[in-house]
Amino acid sequence: MFCPYCSADLQLLQDGEARCLAMGSLLSVDVTRRLTARFSASRPAKPSTGDVATVQLGKWFCPGCGAPMVPNGNSKLFCGSCKQILDDLVYSLTEFNPHLPFPGRPARRDA
Ligand SMILES: [Zn+2]
Ligand SMILES: [Zn+2]
C-alpha cells in the first residue's frame, strides 16, 4: 500500500503498524487495519516509481494505488480507480499520526 500523506511505499510491520518508507512515520495498528481492509484489494497497475509527493495539509493520496484523492459527490477524498473513500479515516490519521505536525516541511528529495 501507499502512504496516504505522501504516496510513498508503506511497509507493513509485524506488530500490525505500517511505516512510511519516505518519512519513517508510523501508522497506528487501528488505522493500518482499517486501511488494509479497505484498500489492500487494490493493486497498482505498475510498481511504485519511488516518487514521493510533497506532504500538504488537506491533501491525501490513495493507499490502494497512490493517486491523489479527489472530491466526488458527498466525499471530499475519493479514488476513482479504487472506488473507495478516505474521509472517515482522516480524523484517525491526523489525530494519531505524527506525519503532519510539520506542515510545510518539504518531503525528502534526497532519496
Ligand atoms: Zn508518507
Ligand atoms: Zn486508489
Q: Which residue has the higher pLDDT, 35 or 105?
A: 35
Does 56 fall in a domain?
yes
Look at residue 106 and tell me if it is in a domain.
no
Name the closest ligand to CA 81.
Answer: 2
The pTM (predicted TM-score) of the whole model is: 0.76
* 103 domain-assigned: no
| In-domain check, residue 70 | yes
Structural domains of the chain, count = 1
User: Ligand 1 centre and the CA of 21: distance in Å?
Assistant: 7
Cα-to-centroid distance, 79 and ligand 2 (Å): 5
Q: How far is the CA of 66 from the centre of ligand 2 (A)?
A: 6
With a pLDDT cut of 90, the percent of the chain lying above it is: 55
More confident residue, 104 or 83: 83
**7 C-alpha to ligand 1 centroid (Å):** 6
The length of the chain is 111
Q: Return the minimum-mean-pLDDT range out of 7-11, 40-44, 106-110.
A: 106-110
Instruction: Report yes or no on 45 lying in a domain.
Output: yes
Enclosing domain of residue 67: 10-96
If one compares 25 and 78, the residue with the highest pLDDT of the two is 78
Q: Which ligand is nearest to the CA of 45?
A: 2
**Protein residues within 5 Å, CB atom, of ion ligand 1:** 3, 5-6, 8, 20, 23
| pLDDT score of 101 | 46
Considering the domain boundaries, does residue 109 fall inside one?
no
Question: CA nearest 2: which of 40, 37, 56?
Answer: 40
Instruction: Evaluate whether residue 30 is within a structural domain.
Output: yes
Going by C-alpha positions, the residue among 42, 39, 61 that lies closest to residue 107 is: 61
Assign 103 to helix, strand or coil: coil
CA of 61 to the centre of ligand 1 (A): 10
**pLDDT tens track for 39-84:** 986 555 455 566 666 777 778 999 999 999 999 999 999 999 999 9
